[in-house]
Amino acid sequence: MIGTVLVVRPDNAGDVLLAGPAVRAVAANARRVVLLAGPHGRAAAALLPGVDQVLEWRTPWIDPGGVPMTGRHASRLIDQVRRIAPDVALILTSFHQSALPMALLLRLAGTPRIAAISPDYPGSLLDVRHIVDESVDVPESERMLDLARAAGFEPPPGDDGRLAVREPLPNMEHLTGPPGYVVVHPGTSVPARAWPQERWAEAVRELAAAGERVIITGSPGERALTARIARAAADPHALPLVPPLGMDLVLDLGGATTFAGLAGVLASASVAVVANTGPAHLAAAVRTPVVSLFAPVVPAARWAPYGVPVELLGDQRAPCRGSRARICPVPGHPCLSSVRGEHIVEAVRRLAAVKESVP
């Protein structure tokens, strides 16, 4: 068994959660697993089974905040890695990212063995250079697990390869009431993936009118967003086509939970309604079916919620397809603007009975 393995996944929360099966494979073959995450992925990293320690470092070639790459900033990472002295490092990337800048820094930190997917010639930067056919859209979770296997880390017996989080999760019934509600999570980290606020309000209103208990969730930075949607949903003049029924069934929990608390809220939901963002993968990790409002700026075949029943909404052939745009490049946001509240209600109904059959 290997001593310490450093697993690198310095992206957002969803990326880290998708790395979970690969992390469990590493943990089954190592005495200690340290996960290097960015500030947006740290809370998710702490929830992954098999992780013993989390390091945080903002990766300049990945972090959207534009952190400058300086010698001092690089030294912070090199010093952290030297202190943990990993025997092996596994660099997990998305299909459009290069592992080589991180491999260079890990070499400078003295890491003796490094594995990564790399279409580019790595020279002496990698000991295990895994090559995959990137013209084939493979789910990101499977792609990362494939690298772990190539590096010699087989999953433990009985591992189903699905997403997972540490248990027990916080019991959130003091906020949510009994299980069986619909979670609506309107926030996204990338504007191009966002559904218009007025449509979120329409969906909340129609779900409540259909008798569903609706819980609106969001991060602390999304309190204003969830409050606006809750107010608009409750206003009978804002959406006059929908009768003002059942608004006592709507609860705004924007900013009221930690990331682990959000996992607890999602675990007791019958369905989660969410765009392509971290909480979609968190719902999958707690085995809750997902209505996914998916903008095709990245392929759904790679990034849709993994391992749970999913209703995929949005035009996957829209002109923005595969652009990886952060800001919608097409006037009118056609990939998602055609989705209406009634479509959400229909999708929720189709999935509502499914969770009972999900092991």
pLDDT tens digits, 112-163: 999 999 999 999 999 999 999 999 999 999 999 999 999 999 999 999 999 9
Give the DSSP letter string of 106-133. Answer: HHHTT-S-EEEE-SS--TTS-SEEE---
In this structure, what is the dihedral angle of CA atoms 252, 255, 260, 266, given to the nearest 10 degrees? 20
Task: Determine the average pLDDT of the residues in 29-44.
Answer: 97
- C-alpha closest to that of 295 among 325, 264, 253, 255: 325
Distance set, CA 116 to CA 15, 142, 320 (Å): 16, 14, 29
Question: Does residue 7 carry a pLDDT above 80?
Answer: yes
The model's pTM: 0.94
Q: Is 26:50 a contact under the CB 8 Å cutoff? A: yes
Percent of the chain with pLDDT over 90: 85
pLDDT tens digits, 213-261: 999 999 999 999 999 999 999 875 554 434 444 447 899 999 999 999 9
Residue 5: its H or E element: strand 2-8
Mean predicted lDDT score pLDDT of the chain: 93
d(CA 92, CA 183): 30
Task: Spell out the domains of the chain, with CATH numbers in brackets.
Answer: 2-150 (3.40.50.2000), 173-357 (3.40.50.2000)
pLDDT (0 to 100) of residue 322? 87
* Both tokens assigned to 102: 């991180």
CA angle 245, 251, 254 (to 5 degrees): 140
Neighbouring CB atoms inside 10 A of 275's CB total 24
Neighbouring CB atoms inside 10 A of 332's CB total 9
- C-alpha closest to that of 95 among 126, 125, 139: 139
Question: Does residue 356 carry a pLDDT above 80?
Answer: no
- Report cis status (omega within 30 of 0) of the bond before 170: no
* Both tokens assigned to 44: 């998710």
Question: Does residue 329 carry a pLDDT above 90?
Answer: no
pLDDT (0 to 100) of residue 249? 85
Residues, the chain, total? 359
SS3 state at 87: coil
Residue 282: its H or E element: helix 278-285
Which residues face 214 on adjacent strands? Answer: 182, 250
**Which value, in Å, is the radius of gyration of the alpha carbons in the chain?**
21
pLDDT (0 to 100) of residue 189? 87
How does residue 78 score in pLDDT terms, banded at 50, 70 and 90?
very high
CA angle 128, 153, 25 (to 5 degrees): 135
pLDDT (0 to 100) of residue 240? 42
Q: Is 291:344 a contact under the CB 8 Å cutoff? A: yes
pLDDT (0 to 100) of residue 316? 93
- C-alpha closest to that of 185 among 249, 265, 246: 265
Residue type, 99: A
Question: Does residue 28 carry a pLDDT above 80?
Answer: yes
Q: Is 313:200 a contact under the CB 8 Å cutoff? A: no
Q: Is 195:181 a contact under the CB 8 Å cutoff? A: no
pLDDT tens digits, 176-213: 999 999 999 999 988 999 999 999 999 999 999 999 99
pLDDT (0 to 100) of residue 311? 98
pLDDT (0 to 100) of residue 244? 45
Question: Does residue 67 carry a pLDDT above 50?
Answer: yes
